[in-house]
Amino acid sequence: MHTKTEHDLPRSTPEIQGIASAAILRFAEAVESKLHEMHSFVLLRHGSVVAEGWWSPYGREHPHLLFSVSKSVTATAVGLALAEGHFSIDDPVLPFFPDAAPAEVNDHLKALRVRHLLSMSTGHADDTWANMLSQSDGNWLKGFFEVPISYAPGSHFLYNTGASYVLAAIVQKTTGMKLLDYLQPRLFEPLGIGTATWEESPQGIAMGGIGLSLKTEDLARFGQLYLQKGRWQDRQILSEAWVAEATATQIANGDDPQSDWAQGYGYQFWRCRHNAYRGDGVFGQFCIVMPEQDAVLAMTGGIDIFEAQQPLNLVWDILLPAMEAEPLVDDPVSQQRLTEKLHRLSLPSLQKGSGSALASEVTGRTYKVDANELQVETITLNFSESDCTLSITRSKGEETIPCGYATWLHGQTSLFNEESVTNPQLAAACASWLAADSLKLIVRLYETPFYYTLVFHFVGTELMLETQVNVSLGSTRPLLLTAHTL
């Protein structure tokens, strides 16, 4: 149940704000049928929430990892710091970090300015991110400057997550504050954003290009701030000039009229078709601002990178044409249908199935696992009538994941942590017997785009475990673990 607070955005029926409830219903249904793995959306029209939904076990109270939408927030910190006079947009970059300079500094590196970092026009031929992460001493800045700049800065677009990290480092260096601390009184508190976390580099600098987690409604607030040209209630938080410059095309990035990745790039914002712009994160994280329609759409998800255009197509094909200039005739029937749909959104859990006689035989049995990438040492499964638990020991310690039958049970796990995540992550899990000797688990890390499928195969005293992640920037190939009874 949602408890209202003083910072809540106003709510309205869609028709009052000139959009048909039936169209939003079609959008939600299309998302489910075509994408399968959207986690949430919040739609604003004329400053009011007209529709919002979370696919359980994802929920309004939980932040979601936003990946590269983080870049747009980093750029906002830069805009604020520029306004306060901490540095200039045309300052050369290297003098901020003289200790990270390479042995040889060529003319292109000398010419690199803050504005080039903002517009992804650093002149690199390759993203600097991989080289930054590979630094054995954890000095990502050094890793950035090591990568040669092949083109004159400002002349060549290359999406470069390392550039966003350097922006975060410049803000921290010049203000003496970490990005979150700097943004808290200047952006988050005025907008009523209460929960924000940002992963950091080994040097204690916010990742900048990725790593930010916000609630979906808070992401919508961020978009609404830009839609309102930097103004929030009675306060001008960002200058109109900054908003206009950050969201305008600063460099061309392609010529495909059907692609929302080829409409130009601003200051850490993508231009879209239909004169819109967006913050954009891999696997379905979006903050879409539509100035001509006076609308904002925030979305989170876990979709494959090859489906990235599809959510935007659904917005343009279904929602955009439904946005009228004037209020519509009230439609309580469609409003009720939409409300009911949004209240029962849920990603399917595994069906309970008929169970297995094997459960009583293997319950409580501990299996020793052969050497593996997850560094799992032992596995123990315990079964009851209503649920089961998966207990795992690793060198880091022991953890237990509760799993429901035909329902999600909540817990936490560090089993699947990416390198950038150090703390246990909230998880929801369910289980079902696929066959007499095969058990399937789904573990959703519901503050991220990721879920893992685990299939246990029992053969006598042996156990084989297949694990697979839904999406990844690397491989999604299954990982096979083998084990035997202790």
Sign (positive or negative) of CA dihedral 197, 200, 205, 210: negative
What is d(CA 189, CA 167) in angstroms, rounded to the nearest whole number?
22
CA angle 249, 300, 466 (to 5 degrees): 125
Same domain, residue pair 328 and 440: no
Same domain, residue pair 138 and 279: yes
pTM of the model: 0.96
Position 396 scores a pLDDT of 83
Residue 217: strand, helix, or coil: helix
How large is the greatest C-alpha to C-alpha distance in the chain, in angstroms? 72
Q: Given a cut of 90, is residue 30 above it in pLDDT?
A: yes
Position 307 scores a pLDDT of 93
What is d(CA 19, CA 331) in angstroms, rounded to the nearest whole number?
11
DSSP at 341:
H
Same domain, residue pair 319 and 389: no
Q: What's the mean pLDDT when you consider all of the chain?
A: 95
Lowest mean pLDDT among 105-119, 219-233, 386-400: 386-400
In this prediction, residue 421 has a pLDDT band, given cuts at 50, 70 and 90, of very low
Position 422 scores a pLDDT of 55
To the nearest 10°, report the CA torsion of 277, 281, 284, 289: -20
Q: Does some domain include residue 337? A: yes
Q: Does some domain include residue 374? A: yes
CA angle 344, 68, 48 (to 5 degrees): 45
Secondary structure E strands in 385-450: 387-394, 397-404, 409-413, 425-435, 438-444
Same domain, residue pair 411 and 326: no
* pLDDT digit string, tens, across residues 433-443: 999 999 999 99
Name residue, tokens 């060549």.
156
Of 286, 315, 343, the residue at which a domain comes to its end is 343
Instruction: Name the burial class of residue 312, with classes exposed (0-12), middle (13-18) and buried (19+) by CB atoms within 10 angstroms of its CB.
Output: buried
47: tokens are: 């400053």
In this prediction, residue 4 has a pLDDT band, given cuts at 50, 70 and 90, of low
Complete edge-to-edge strand list for the sheet that includes strand 64-65: 64-65, 212-214, 197-198
Q: Given a cut of 80, is residue 353 above it in pLDDT?
A: no
Same domain, residue pair 313 and 397: no
Position 246 scores a pLDDT of 98
* pLDDT digit string, tens, across residues 114-167: 999 999 999 999 999 999 999 999 999 999 999 999 999 999 999 999 999 999
Q: Does some domain include residue 294? A: yes
DSSP at 317:
I
The predicted model gives 33-62 an average pLDDT of 97
Percentage, residues of the chain above pLDDT 70? 97
Of 284, 309, 343, the residue at which a domain comes to its end is 343
Q: Given a cut of 60, is residue 239 above it in pLDDT?
A: yes
In this prediction, residue 420 has a pLDDT band, given cuts at 50, 70 and 90, of very low
**Residues linked to residue 346 through DSSP beta bridges, in sequence order:** 56
Same domain, residue pair 270 and 370: no
Position 3 scores a pLDDT of 52
Same domain, residue pair 362 and 396: yes
Same domain, residue pair 288 and 428: no
CATH number at residue 100: 3.40.710.10
Q: Does some domain include residue 5? A: no
Contact predicate 211/70, CB 8 Å: yes
**Domain, as residue range, for 432:** 358-485
Question: How many distinct structural domains can be found in the chain?
Answer: 2
Percentage, residues of the chain above pLDDT 90? 92
Same domain, residue pair 318 and 392: no
The predicted model gives 451-467 an average pLDDT of 97
Position 481 scores a pLDDT of 97
Position 395 scores a pLDDT of 85
Same domain, residue pair 260 and 285: yes
The predicted model gives 347-363 an average pLDDT of 87
Residue 76: strand, helix, or coil: helix
Contact predicate 282/67, CB 8 Å: yes
CATH number at residue 381: 2.40.128.20
Q: Does some domain include residue 218? A: yes
**Residues linked to residue 485 through DSSP beta bridges, in sequence order:** 367
Q: Does some domain include residue 7? A: no
329: tokens are: 């005739």
What is d(CA 103, CA 105) in angstroms, rounded to the nearest whole number?
7
* pLDDT digit string, tens, across residues 80-101: 999 999 999 999 999 999 999 9
Residues in Cβ contact with 231 at an 8 Å cutoff, skipping those fewer than 6 apart: 225, 237, 240
**Residues linked to residue 444 through DSSP beta bridges, in sequence order:** 428, 451
Q: Does some domain include residue 353? A: no
Q: Does some domain include residue 186? A: yes
In this prediction, residue 1 has a pLDDT band, given cuts at 50, 70 and 90, of very low
What is d(CA 39, CA 345) in angstroms, rounded to the nearest whole number?
9
What is d(CA 205, CA 199) in angstroms, rounded to the nearest whole number?
8
Same domain, residue pair 308 and 251: yes
Same domain, residue pair 106 and 237: yes
Lowest mean pLDDT among 75-79, 103-107, 214-218, 315-319: 103-107
Residues in Cβ contact with 191 at an 8 Å cutoff, skipping those fewer than 6 apart: 7, 218, 221, 222, 225, 232, 237
Tell how many helices (H) and how many strands (E) occur in the chain. 14, 21
